[in-house]
């Protein structure tokens, strides 16, 4: 399995082929449409990360020491970006996720979507992803404080 | 300043646009198409120059110094108050209280009026189309006093249910607080009629005028409003200054809101007596530069003429409404017969956030979301809207760009 940074670099590489914002967003929108990201059973209030503009649902589980994230959004662009975040972070160990430095969004010109002024739920989602990783990390190391 | 209009009497949007430096900017490689004036308007040069001039030549604290400079600053501040009084047709200068904005004006009334007059069992009447600024302050004071909030419903077109309003006014209502123009739906409420109805029951009325003052002439005496709140930054003036008009008879009966300097007459540790109106409600150093900028904005608005602005925006509203209605799947939210320059909409199968994001890429600035009016979204069962709002500098070409942009965005999204 590729490391978090290898995946980020691959995405940066893919995005370097887009000529303008249209192509880039077309791609993100397609990503958003193609990915059925979360089971209907998790699309409930319990898993809702509330942004004020778009809603995000996030579910995490630990499988063989790796964190599996599933998420969804009611806004398609948000959902496409979630697809990218999940591609980068899902399937890695809690420690790797905690240590991850997400530089790819900046490099592909989508950092604005992680600005709190957008209130799209992505900032809260990332925070929540790290919190899940932290909780799983404690579970794995048997610490219970 | 842009005297052209005042002298020729002809409204020329191109000339107006030259007064707003920010409108020359580009966004994402396109000329900025600013369609979010309802959130905050842009500022014309005379406002910027007046504030710059104030800080360069006249700044000192007000009401405090025997020296000349402080007197100059005080004169400018008080002249601004006088200008506001005349602008909205208030009876006395002392009825004009400077605040930070509409939000603070409403909080002031909710808190001071509420502490003086609200008791358990009393009701505060608001409407379904209020901005959060005219909901939450009342919730806070109701929690403290044991009074309750009642909400007048709206119709599918986004108009007030006047029959329900009349019915509710028969209850134990102590104050009615409602907006003159809805920032989300554009609905213009028949305020004069509503105030008269409320007064028949002896109920005072607070009017949220944030979206009314910048777009058409307002006269608080004709409306007979007991309180009238608005913001400088939505009427082409600076951020940080707002206005509360209150009738003397009410303001005198209300306790101060904030404590501090300016608002006192005499302070001892045993007892403090308060200053006279309006200073009783203006604790601390006020936004002096803001008042100067506001004064310049009022003169600018008067130079252009609010009737001219209202006419221009009305024409644009009709033009924009027609354009948008041609777009398949687009649904306007807010279709009142009497409407101000607000176009709120959703497009079937798309999320407002996605539309707003793509429009931004085309240099078009619109607002998306619930616009601080969540109850309206719940009422219409939508997560939010895209809102284009108009100002005196908005052009037909910009609305053409909006319509084309929406079509392009929808194509990408569907
Ligand atoms: C109808 C209405 N009321 C109140 C407000 C709050 O104004 P401010 O943020 O200037 O206090 C707004 C601004 O969005 C508004 O549109």
| Average pLDDT score over chain B | 96
Q: Does B384 touch chain A (CB under 8 A)?
A: yes
> Which DSSP category does B133 fall into?
G
> Which DSSP category does B160 fall into?
B
Please check the confidence at residue A50 and state whether its pLDDT lies above 80. no
Residue-level pLDDT at B113:
98
Burial classification of residue B163, based on how many CB atoms lie within 10 Å of its CB (0-12 exposed, 13-18 middle, 19 or more buried): exposed
Q: Which residues of B touch A75 (CB under 8 A)?
A: 351, 353-354
Q: Does B28 touch chain A (CB under 8 A)?
A: yes
B332/B339 Cα distance (integer angstroms): 12
B142 is catalytic: no
Q: Where are the beta strands (DSSP E) in B225-341?
A: 227-231, 242-246, 264-267, 272-274, 330-332
- The CATH architecture that domain A4-140 belongs to is Alpha-Beta Complex (3.90)
- First vs last C-alpha separation in chain A: 32
d(CA B343, nearest CA chain A) in Å: 18
Q: What is the pTM of this model?
A: 0.94
A143/A140 Cα distance (integer angstroms): 8
Sequence ranges of the domains in chain A: 4-140
For B358-389, the pLDDT digits (tens) are 999 999 999 999 889 999 999 999 989 999 99
State the Cα torsion B367-B373-B379-B380 to the nearest 10°.
-10
Burial classification of residue B225, based on how many CB atoms lie within 10 Å of its CB (0-12 exposed, 13-18 middle, 19 or more buried): buried
Inspect the interface and report whether the beta carbons of B353 and A55 lie closer than 8 Å: no
Q: What ipTM was estimated for this complex?
A: 0.89
B278: preceding bond cis by omega (within 30 degrees): yes
For A59-80, the pLDDT digits (tens) are 999 999 999 999 999 899 999 9
Domains of chain B, start order: 49-302 (3.40.640.10), 306-413 (3.90.1150.10)
Share of chain B above pLDDT 70, in %: 98
Residue B356 near residue B370 (C-beta atoms within 8 A): no
Q: Which of A17, A21, A52, A64 is catalytic?
A: A52
Please check the confidence at residue A38 and state whether its pLDDT lies above 90. no
Please check the confidence at residue B48 and state whether its pLDDT lies above 90. yes
Residue in B353, B361, B384 closest to A78 by CB: B353
Q: What token pair was written down for B279?
A: 């200073």
For A14-35, the pLDDT digits (tens) are 999 998 999 999 999 999 998 7
Residue B206, phi then psi, degrees to nearest 5: -100, 130
Sequence-ordered list of residues with C-beta below 8 angstroms from that of A49, at least 6 positions apart, any chain = A55, A56, A57, A58, A121, A124, A125, A128
B193 or A123, which is more confident?
B193
Sequence-ordered list of residues with C-beta below 8 angstroms from that of A35, at least 6 positions apart, any chain = A79, A80, A83
For residue A21, the surrounding DSSP H or E stretch is helix A21-34
Q: Where are the beta strands (DSSP E) in B11-138?
A: 26-27, 30-31, 33-34, 96-99, 123-127
Smallest Cα–Cα separation from A125: which of A66, A63, A67, A82? A82
A87 or A48, which is more confident?
A87
Q: Which residues of A touch B354 (CB under 8 A)?
A: 29, 75-78
Q: What token pair was written down for B409?
A: 């965005």
Residue B148 near residue B159 (C-beta atoms within 8 A): no
Instruction: Output the residue whose Cα is nearest ligand 1's atom 13.
Output: B39
Residue in B28, B368, B413 closest to A29 by CB: B413
């Amino acid at each position: 399995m590729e490391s978090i940074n290898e995946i980020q670099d691959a995405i940066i590489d893919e995005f370097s082929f887009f000529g303008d914002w249209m192509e880039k967003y077309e791609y993100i929108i397609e990503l958003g449409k193609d990915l059925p990201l979360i089971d209907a059973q998790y699309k409930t209030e319990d898993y809702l990360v509330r942004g004020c503009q778009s809603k995000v649902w996030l579910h995490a589980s630990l499988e063989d020491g790796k964190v599996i994230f599933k998420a969804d959004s009611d806004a398609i662009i948000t959902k496409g970006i979630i697809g990218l975040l999940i591609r980068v972070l899902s399937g890695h160990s809690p420690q790797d996720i905690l240590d991850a430095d997400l530089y790819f969004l900046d490099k592909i010109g989508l950092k604005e979507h992680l600005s709190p002024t957008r209130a799209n739920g992505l900032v809260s989602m990332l925070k929540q992803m790290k919190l899940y990783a932290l909780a799983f990390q404690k579970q794995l190391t048997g610490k219970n404080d | 300043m842009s005297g052209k209009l005042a002298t020729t009497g002809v409204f020329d949007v191109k000339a107006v646009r030259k007064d707003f430096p920010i409108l020359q900017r580009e966004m994402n490689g396109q000329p900025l198409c600013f369609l979010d004036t309802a959130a905050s308007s842009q500022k014309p040069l005379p406002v910027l120059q007046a504030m710059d001039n104030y800080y360069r030549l006249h700044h000192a604290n007000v009401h405090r110094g025997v020296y000349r400079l402080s007197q100059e600053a005080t004169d400018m501040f008080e002249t601004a108050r006088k200008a506001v009084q005349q602008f909205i047709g208030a009876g006395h200068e002392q009825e004009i209280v400077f605040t930070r904005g509409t939000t603070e004006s409403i909080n002031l009334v909710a808190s001071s009026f509420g502490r003086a007059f609200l008791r358990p069992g009393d009701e505060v009447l608001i409407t379904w189309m209020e901005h959060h600024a005219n909901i939450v302050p009342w919730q806070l004071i109701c929690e403290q006093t044991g009074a309750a909030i009642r909400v007048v419903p709206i119709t599918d077109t986004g108009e007030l249910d006047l029959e329900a309003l009349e019915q509710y006014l028969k209850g134990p209502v102590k104050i009615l607080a409602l907006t003159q123009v809805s920032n989300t739906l554009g609905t213009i409420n028949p305020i004069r009629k509503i105030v008269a109805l409320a007064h028949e029951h002896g109920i005072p009325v607070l009017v949220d005028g944030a979206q009314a003052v910048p777009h058409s002439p307002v006269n608080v005496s004709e409306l007979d409003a007991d309180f009238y709140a608005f913001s400088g930054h939505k009427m082409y003036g600076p951020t940080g200054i707002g206005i509360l008009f209150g009738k003397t008879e009410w303001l005198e009966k209300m306790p101060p809101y904030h404590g501090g300097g300016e608002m006192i007459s005499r302070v001892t540790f045993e007892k403090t007596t308060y200053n006279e109106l309006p200073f009783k409600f203006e604790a601390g150093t006020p936004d002096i530069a803001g008042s100067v900028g506001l004064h310049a904005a009022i003169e600018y608005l008067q130079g252009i003429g609010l009737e001219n602005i209202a006419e221009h925006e009305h024409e644009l509203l009709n033009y924009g409404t027609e354009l948008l209605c041609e777009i398949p799947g687009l649904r306007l939210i807010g279709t009142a017969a009497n409407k101000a320059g607000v176009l709120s909409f959703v497009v079937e199968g798309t999320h407002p956030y996605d539309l707003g994001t793509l429009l931004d890429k085309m240099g078009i600035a619109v607002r998306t979301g619930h616009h601080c009016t969540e109850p309206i979204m719940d009422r219409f069962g939508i997560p939010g809207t895209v809102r284009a709002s108009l100002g005196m500098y908005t052009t037909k070409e910009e609305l053409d760009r909006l319509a084309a942009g929406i079509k392009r965005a929808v194509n990408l999204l569907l």
